[in-house]
Chains A and B, each alone.
Chain A
């Protein structure tokens, strides 16, 4: 059943990584991405790998979960590495069959590419595994708040994200119910060709859409009743306070960064 799908990837815990201020985590994750793609390939991969492995060990997230996060990108990984293998024509020819030519340069690039993407995905998944969606939304809102000065609706965007997160489980349950109800009237969703299958979605999508609009209207009234008037003059119950270990984490990241730059200059 659809209901069984887990929402978000948050994996509750109480490790050092979990307890980090979400704003710091978000900035560190961005720094990590830059690290992966900056300068000399070997150096950046080694720094990134060390950084990623250490964080993972600290977070106490089971290895199985990390492997799971890689599964959906496996086809992309394969596809790009095959393209790299075939089309990069530098270095020695290792293997040749008719017009197919695989070179040492191609092998090198595709291996590096695989490692980089793997590190990228595992590293960023760690962020979503250890940070609840609401904390993440909060962090984004606060980090982007300087943009309010140039009229970016930061609060509104964050509010939209929160409401979306709130209503995903409700709408999934609703979809499930509508599917069952239409099936009870003999709707056939499994058989038929592509056009018929697309048509079979109409009895599900229309009621779902109507219900979403109705919910939105009711929610808007309920929000008005509770004095909602946008982000102006709003306070927050939960205050994000950076503690010593947030700065330590930031410091460690900076050192990694500095090392990366230093090595790049020397080489």
Chain B
């Protein structure tokens, strides 16, 4: 069977009230089980792109296929949404119910799953994000990171193949960020769920298997993190950062030190510096 999970071809999109194309000719495909980061400054079209993956938005030109289903196929709308779950930035604005477990059950109730099975899947989902003991809490008693994990559980309960996370850590403190990332990584590793992570944090992107950089509605770079981050100047020109260690190597290389520009982790940087200084 084909290993491609989602695929878009020459995707073009513009909002009704704007003449400018938010997405122009985006062609990308995602493999099953892949862990991809999408980078780009605010307004580069990355959130708009994400909303095409579960048919919240439909293309103005080109096509998007999810698990072989064309997202324009209205008959199969809920098949698509059940396969691709979405987590948003603001944890407060995506929790519907007043009790954690009721919220996690929300999607399954919408899909008409029998009550006993909902119970089972809700408990399982809450356990997989480590929030089972908070199941009877009300959302406003939780921290930002915990709320985001509840939101993820609400998606996991649908047993999706793919989760798209739109800046899920932007409003969280470092502890919350770590909690969420750990959870997402585990879901990818243990359940093989395809992850598409939109983020502004370069360290988060550095740990993914693949990084896509978007600018002005187009795909600028699409490669493994090492290759993407080695293009320091290009990234800076589109308003993005590189990890601090990459930046240091870049600065040092201006002196002709000839260090490997593919350094993106602390360990690699430490080794390189030891070599340099000994």
Contacts and interface: CB of A to CB of B under 8 A. Distances in A.
Interface of A: 133-134, 162-163, 165-166, 169-170, 173, 214-215, 218-219, 221-229, 233-239
A86 B158 CA distance: 66
B92 interface: yes
A222 to B, nearest CB: 4
B81 interface: yes
Contacts of A238: 102, 115
B200 interface: no
A173 B85 CA distance: 29
Interface string B71-88: 000000010011001101
Nearest to A226: B107
A226 B154 contact: yes
Contact of A221 (B85, B88, B119, B158): B88
B118 A170 contact: no
Contact of A228 (B51, B86, B99, B110): B110
B113 A133 contact: no
B225 to A, nearest CB: 28
22 contacts: A134-B97, A162-B97, A166-B95, A166-B97, A166-B139, A170-B92, A173-B140, A218-B93, A218-B94, A219-B93, A226-B106, A226-B110, A227-B107, A227-B158, A228-B106, A228-B110, A234-B112, A235-B118, A237-B101, A237-B118, A237-B122, A238-B102
Contacts of A235: 108-109, 112-115, 118
Contacts, number: 94
Interface of B: 51, 54, 56, 78, 81-82, 85-86, 88, 90, 92-99, 101-102, 105-115, 118-119, 122, 138-140, 151, 154-155, 158
A241 to B, nearest CB: 11
A215 B93 contact: yes
Contact of B54 (A214, A225, A239): A225
B56 A221 contact: yes
Nearest to A171: B92
B98 to A, nearest CB: 5
A227 B82 contact: yes
A134 B113 contact: no
Contacts of B109: 234-237
Which residue, of B93, B95, B115, has the highest number of chain A Cβ atoms within 10 A?
A: B93
A218 B88 CA distance: 9
A8 to B, nearest CB: 10
Nearest to A239: B115
Contacts of A215: 90, 92-93
